[in-house]
């Protein structure tokens, strides 16, 4: 679909990397000199539960899911410092960006990374036991410092989940956009075309949206089935708004 040299992937520098001052090291490992990839977009995000849930939706039923959400939200590494609870989200672009970035990042499990790919970024991660309320170990969480999209479908979904089209320079956008011609407001997990107190404006006439996001908003407004959830559209408009969450 996308020309190979224009492939894009989403990278998240996770809270454990920030906590351990590995951001500079990671950015250096991912530099164009080493990877041949360029920045297409970058932002600092205070991650809401909604964004974390949408990002890791495929893991909803797993034993580590709740712990994973808290991890991505920075609640585990900065429990008493909300202002430090953030991730750095970056879109990288270039030839073979998705597979190439997964390679630099290394295997999901830091122990396997240390064995199989000692120089990879995730080889510097940790494996942490997850306990229940009684202190019983019920599983493990992999604090592996960095996320990178696993395949082209995930890359498109994740880039659209974290970034608005206008976060990316027009000449570097690889997914189609569309101009909105109405207002869409969000409140209590529903979408409206008129404002009520407490609702948040997702889009106004003239705004540039991912074409699939606009389609989802229009379908959800009409009560029809949509290709993905309203939450996946709204999440990026709801981060960094207030000190809540």
Query: Which positions are catalytic?
Result: 147
Candidates 147, 160, 164, 236; binder of ligand CDP (CB under 6 A) is: 147
Q: Which residues bind Mg ion (CB under 5 A)?
A: 150
Using rule CB under 6 A, residue 64 touches ligand CDP: yes
**Distances from the Cα of 36 to the Cα of 5, 39, 52, 97, angstroms:** 10, 10, 29, 9
Using rule CB under 6 A, residue 144 touches ligand CDP: yes
CB of 165 to ligand CDP, least distance (A): 25
Using rule CB under 6 A, residue 68 touches ligand CDP: yes
**From the list ligand CDP, Mg ion, none, which binds 141 (C-beta under 5 to 8 Å, kind-based)?**
ligand CDP
Q: Could you tell me which stretch among 73-81, 137-145, 175-183, 225-233 binds ligand CDP (CB under 6 A)? A: 137-145
Among left, alpha and beta (phi > 0; psi -120 to 50; other), residue 82 is alpha
Q: Could you tell me which stretch among 31-39, 85-93, 144-152, 161-169 binds ligand CDP (CB under 6 A)? A: 144-152
In the block, tokens 């709740």 appear at 66
Task: Report helix angle 97-105 to 152-162, nearest 10.
Answer: 90
Question: Which position's Cβ is nearest ligand CDP?
Answer: 108
Kindly tell me which of 144 and 177 has the beta carbon lying closer to ligand CDP. 144
**From the list Mg ion, ligand CDP, none, which binds 238 (C-beta under 5 to 8 Å, kind-based)?**
none
The H or E element containing residue 67 is helix 65-72
The residues, any chain, with a CB within 8 Å of residue 70's CB and separated by 6 or more, are 76
The b/e string for 196-224 (b: 16+ C-beta within 10 A; e otherwise) is: eeebeebbeeebbbbebbbbbbbebbeee
- Interface contacts to ligand CDP, rule CB under 6 A: 59, 64, 68, 108, 141-142, 144, 147, 150
């Amino acid at each position: 679909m996308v020309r190979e040299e224009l492939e894009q992937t989403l990278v998240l520098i996770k809270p454990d990397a920030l906590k351990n001052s590995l951001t500079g090291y990671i950015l250096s490992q991912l530099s164009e000199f080493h990877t041949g990839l360029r920045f297409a977009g970058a932002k600092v995000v205070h991650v809401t539960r909604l964004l974390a849930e949408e990002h890791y939706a495929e893991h909803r039923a797993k034993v580590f899911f709740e712990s994973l959400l808290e991890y991505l939200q920075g609640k585990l590494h900065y429990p008493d410092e909300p202002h430090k609870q953030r991730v750095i989200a970056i879109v990288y672009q270039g030839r073979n960006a998705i597979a190439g970035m997964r390679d630099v990042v290394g295997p999901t499990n830091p122990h396997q990374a240390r064995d199989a790919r000692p120089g990879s970024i995730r080889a510097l991660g940790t494996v942490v036991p997850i306990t229940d309320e009684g202190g019983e170990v019920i599983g493990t969480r992999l604090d592996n410092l960095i996320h990178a999209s696993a395949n082209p479908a995930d890359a498109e979904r994740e880039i659209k989940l974290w970034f608005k089209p206008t976060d990316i320079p027009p000449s570097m956008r690889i997914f189609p956009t569309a101009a909105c011609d109405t207002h869409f407001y969000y409140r209590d997990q529903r979408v409206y075309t008129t404002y009520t107190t407490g609702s948040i404006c997702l889009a106004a006439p003239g705004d540039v949206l991912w074409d699939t996001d606009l389609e989802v908003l229009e379908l959800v407004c009409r009560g029809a089935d949509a290709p993905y959830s309203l939450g996946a559209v709204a999440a990026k408009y709801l981060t960094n708004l207030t000190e809540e969450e």
